[in-house]
Structure formats: structure tokens, C-alpha cells
């Protein structure tokens, strides 16, 4: 069978960051393994990659965080406990040189066609963002997008647009990584979901260090826009920044609320036998596939 050239078969999950914003919680534990109520942060990315139909997940790790590999193994397992045909391969990022460098470490490991990236810190609930993007993707580059307070624009990659639009897919003029306050071209930020073309690997290999002295994925994407159109995608779900303590707590609270709602909605005769106590490593939710927040829609 010949797959369409727009079919995304590989998803990269960069997980080699040091988690310095969350010390001492991340002193010996990878931030990707911190719990969001009942499951680790990285499991959300794995579930989303499985849902989007990935054949291969590439996890970028550092030698100082071997537990990520121990937890995930070599074949993706959904949080329902169901095994899948999705293989997990690992690549080590020896030096913390930024997100762009982490993605560059995967050069030559992606399957043919466009590839996806899920930043595990960005948990999106209430709709599988990567599946939504894959459903709308036709060509070029696509990044999930969200409006943020103007005061926060210096924390993100920020898009510039030709005009305003309420479409789900919005053509983008350019993107700039962490602009200084007052210099942001809009208040619409990149969120950690990307669909990119392999040519970005070649660009990354020549991209100089940018914001924060790191090789920035955003900079390579901006260069690629000279030959590839870039689309900002308005996703339907709610995003939590689980690379921050407050975001992690908010996600955990939402997760807890959704599990309780699922249990209250379900008939007792079904719930009682299937609910296991929320302790120990064998714990599973009654319905882990149930999105745990109502989808919200935003207009830029
Ligand atoms: C990264 C990207 C940035 C994006 C953000 C979303 O930044 O470089 O463009 O807006 O993720 O979470 P980081 O959070 O790693 O600094």
C-alpha cells in the first residue's frame, strides 16, 4: 500500500530537559515522570502519539534520566493498558543545547514523510491535538497555537500574521522565539505540537544558537517558511504547562475532577468492579480514554 505523502508516521518526544524550574522535585526524578494525579506526564504524550496513529515514537533522552526508558520500554503501551504496534526508539542528547538540537539528534531516524513533535510538558486535554492537526494537515509546516496574555509572550514562540482570522488553520507570516516584551508581533503563541518536513533537519544543522544561547526549533522553522508554508492550528483542547509547578498542579486537579465525574456518571453496577483504588503502580482510571476537560474554542 502506498501511503499519502502527508501521512505522519513518526512522532518525536523530546524528554532530555533538566527540569531546573521544578527543583528539588526533579533532583533525581525526570520531570516527565512526575505524576499528573494518576499517571506520569510523559504518558499523556504517548497516548496522544498512539491516538494520532504513529508507527514510531522517538524519545530524546539524556543519560542522567534512565528511568524514562525503563518506564516506557520498546513498544508503546496506552494508559488503558492496551499494547500497540507503535515502536519506541531512543536517542541520547548528550548536551542540553536546546529544543532544536534535541530534534536534530533524530535526523535519519524518522520514517518517510512529515513527522510530528509532542513536547511532553505541554499536556493538552479535551481533544487529541496531534490527531486534530494530522486531520487538517495537507502540506508544509503546522504548529499548534494559542492566545496568551501579552505579558507572557516572551516565554513562547510567537506568530506573526497578515490579518486576523477565526479559522482553525491560519496562514502564518513568520515566527519568533521568545521576543523581548513589547516586541512580540502578536499574542498568539506556539504550543508544543508540530508537524514538520524532513528538510528542517538540514536547516537545524546550520541554525546558529538563538534565544537563551540554545539552538531553537522555532528559528529553523522560520527559515523553512521561505520555501514551506507555515500554518498555526487552533486546537480544541485545554493546555497545561506541566513544566511548571502551578501547571502540573492544575493538570492534576483537572485529572482528578474528570475521573470523579466519570465515576459519578457511570452506573454503579459497572463502576464498582472496575474501579481500583488510586494507590500503587497498578492503578488505572475507570475510563482512561475519557477526555478530562470540556473542549474549549478560542478566537484569535
Ligand atoms: C518551547 C518552544 C516555544 C514554545 C513552547 C511551548 O519553549 O521553544 O516556541 O512556544 O515550547 O510550550 P520552552 O517552553 O521549551 O522554553
Query: 80 C-alpha vs ligand 1 centroid, how far in Å?
Result: 29
- 59-80 confidence digits (pLDDT tens): 999 998 899 999 999 999 999 8
Residues in the ligand 1 pocket, defined by CB under 6 Å: 99, 119, 122, 156-157, 177, 189-192, 216-218
SS (H, E, C) the chain: CCCCCCCCCEEEEECCCCCHHHCCCCCCCCHHHCEECCEEHHHHHHHHHHHCCCCEEEEEECCCCCHHHHHHCCEEECCCCCEEEEEEEEEECCCCCCHHHHHHCCCCCCCCCCEEEECCCEEEECCCHHHHHHHHCCCCEEEEEEECCHHHHHHCEEEECCCCCCCCEEEECEEEECCCCCCCCCCEEEEEEEEECCHHHHHHCCCCCCHHHCCCHHHHHHHHCCCCCEEEEECCCEEEECCCHHHHHHHHHHHHHHHHHHHHHCCHHHHHHHCCCCCCCCCCCCCCCCCCCCCCCCCC
- 102-159 confidence digits (pLDDT tens): 999 999 999 999 999 999 999 999 989 999 999 999 999 999 999 999 999 999 999 9
Query: 192 C-alpha vs ligand 1 centroid, how far in Å?
Result: 7
Confirm whether pTM is higher than 0.75.
yes
Amino acid at each position: 500500500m502506498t501511503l499519502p505523502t502527508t501521512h505522519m508516521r513518526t512522532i518525536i518526544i523530546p524528554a532530555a530537559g533538566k527540569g531546573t524550574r521544578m527543583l528539588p522535585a526533579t533532583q533525581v526524578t525526570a520531570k516527565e515522570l512526575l505524576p499528573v494525579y494518576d499517571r506520569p506526564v510523559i504518558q499523556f504524550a504517548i497516548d496522544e502519539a498512539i491516538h494520532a496513529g504513529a508507527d514510531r515514537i522517538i524519545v530524546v533522552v539524556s543519560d542522567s534520566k534512565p528511568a524514562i526508558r525503563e518506564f516506557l520500554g520498546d513498544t508503546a503501551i496506552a494508559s488503558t493498558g492496551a499494547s500497540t504496534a507503535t515502536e519506541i526508539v531512543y536517542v541520547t542528547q548528550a548536551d542540553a543545547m536546546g529544543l532544536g538540537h534535541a530534534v536534530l539528534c533524530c535526523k535519519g531516524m524518522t520514517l518517510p514523510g512529515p513527522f510530528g513533535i509532542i513536547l511532553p510538558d505541554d499536556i493538552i486535554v479535551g481533544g487529541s491535538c496531534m490527531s486534530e492537526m494530522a486531520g487538517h494537515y495537507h502540506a508544509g509546516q503546522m504548529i499548534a497555537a494559542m492566545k496568551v496574555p501579552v505579558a507572557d509572550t516572551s516565554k513562547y514562540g510567537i506568530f506573526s500574521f497578515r490579518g486576523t482570522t477565526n479559522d482553525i488553520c491560519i496562514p502564518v507570516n513568520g515566527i519568533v522565539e521568545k521576543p523581548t516584551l513589547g516586541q512580540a508581533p502578536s499574542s498568539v503563541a506556539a504550543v508544543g505540537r508540530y508537524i514538520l518536513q524532513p528538510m528542517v533537519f538540514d536547516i537545524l544543522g546550520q541554525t546558529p544558537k538563538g534565544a537563551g544561547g540554545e539552538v531553537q526549533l522555532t528559528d529553523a522553522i522560520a527559515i523553512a517558511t521561505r520555501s514551506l508554508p507555515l500554518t498555526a492550528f487552533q486546537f480544541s483542547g485545554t493546555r497545561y504547562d506541566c513544566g511548571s509547578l502551578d501547571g502540573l498542579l492544575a493538570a492534576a486537579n483537572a485529572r482528578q475532577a474528570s475521573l470523579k465525574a466519570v465515576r459519578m456518571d457511570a452506573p454503579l453496577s459497572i463502576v464498582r468492579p472496575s474501579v481500583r483504588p488510586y494507590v500503587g503502580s497498578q492503578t488505572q482510571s475507570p475510563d482512561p480514554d475519557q477526555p478530562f476537560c470540556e473542549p474549549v474554542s478560542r478566537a484569535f
